[in-house]
Structure 1
Amino acid sequence: MTTSPAIAVRNLQKAYQDLAVLRGVDFEVAAGSVFALLGANGAGKTTVVRVLATLLKADAGTAVVNGFDVGTQPAKVRESISLTGQFAAVDEILTGRENLVLVARLRHLEGPGAIADRLLERFSLTDAGRRRVSTYSGGMRRRLDLAMSLIGSPPVIVLDEPTTGLDPQARLEVWQAVRELAEHGTTVLLTTQYLDEAEQLADRIAILHEGRIIVNGTLAELKQLLPPATVEYVEKQTTLEDVFLAVVGRTSEDHR
């Protein structure tokens, strides 16, 4: 017995006048997995996302999300997904809880207050829930944005470069939130230009280059594309990220 993929893309093509952005993109995302679409700026990642979210029409090819064709069943696709862009789409004047309640009401869900409280707890925002979002850190805003994307329990979450512009500590907070999404069975399509982000989070990684998928596989499979590394024993050097997180953590403890 086989399970249909949550996302299936076949020969996706898109051009802007004479500029071909997507040149025949193919990939599948298994249900309940984290799939990273890795590529440099301009590789076509956001164009793929916009097509999957029914915000842009492809010139050729097909894309199916949660069993629905993006070209012929766009309303069903939009009911199946939640899209989180590069910048948190939160209202800074409202509190974190009010943002969540607002979205729940817009989706005509029962018990919006209870829904908000559950999501605040799930994303470790309960203590900050009654504060205005304008006081939140970048990582807190992104976690709130992810919480808002889960209202209505969409089976597919699309994260378009979710850690762009975040500091190292905030990135780690977002990574943990993405891991928790997958643990709860949500399918996550993650676009990123950060290699370490794909390595840390993804079950499968596809590299998009000049509008085409050039490799697609698990991290272990991709590593097999290179010759075996020569084993050398060297002293581990402390990285700047190690220092940053250690100092920030110690300072936070001193102020408790």
Structure 2
Amino acid sequence: MVRRQTPENRIVPSYEKDSNSDMTESTIFFLSFTLTFLAAGLVKGVTGMGLPTVAMGLLGSVVPPATAAAILVIPSFVTNVWQLLAGPATASLLRRLWPMMLAVMVGTVGAAALLVRVDPLWSAFSLGVALVVYSVYSLFAPALSVEPRIESWLSPVIGMLTGVVTGVTGVFAIPAVPYLQSLNLDKDELVQALGLSFTVSTIALAIGLMVYGAFQLNQLGLSALAIVPALIGMWLGQKVRAMISPKRFRQCFLVFMVLLGLELTSRPFF
């Protein structure tokens, strides 16, 4: 009698094991990718900001920060241009803030070399430090006010620092967000100013990544795909905003960012 080979006792060839392993890894990445941009869009829908910060923090925990930054380009650009153009102050903000935006562009493109070339563990460490500093500052720092007489020279300085931090970590918020909040803009102008700063940072980061060979054409499809969960998350965030206090949600989000930042900063040492 010839014994039939059953699925249970069949020897699995190595190429099938590799195929199964690759499929599992792809599924885990796709789920992480989708949940990341849902969460990032949710935060932006509730608070009006935070999509790049959340996406970099979460994606940076599963892929190298340079790869995370490349994936972030299109959803960040689309959502921030929308935010920039959603009010009447676009032209006046461009006239007022162009020195800062020019410095952001120069600093980001120059510093992006570090994001690409440094060991991913240390890039993640820098990203973690940026997340912790931004979150702790946002939780505890008092509101600041910049006098108009110093804005002309302070804006380019802040822009250059923001560009360097963006180039090194992929996070756009430091120190641009607290600085723009200190300019005594009204609520709608502040939302547009943040949209302007984040849009310029996104463009500059994309240029920097392309210059240093870390932004490939085959990443455009994945980056474009991220728009869908990001917009769904924003829509859900707007619904959530109507049910809970945005202030309390923002506090919880910042505490989570601190914990995520601490995890990223610990990686080179464990």
TM range (shorter): under 0.3
By percentage of residues, which structure has more strand?
A: 1
Task: Give the TM-score taking structure 1 as reference length.
Answer: 0.27
Name the larger-Rg structure.
2
By percentage of residues, which structure has more helix?
A: 2
Task: Give the TM-score taking structure 2 as reference length.
Answer: 0.26
Higher relative contact order structure (alpha carbons within 8 Å, sequence separation ≥ 6)? 2
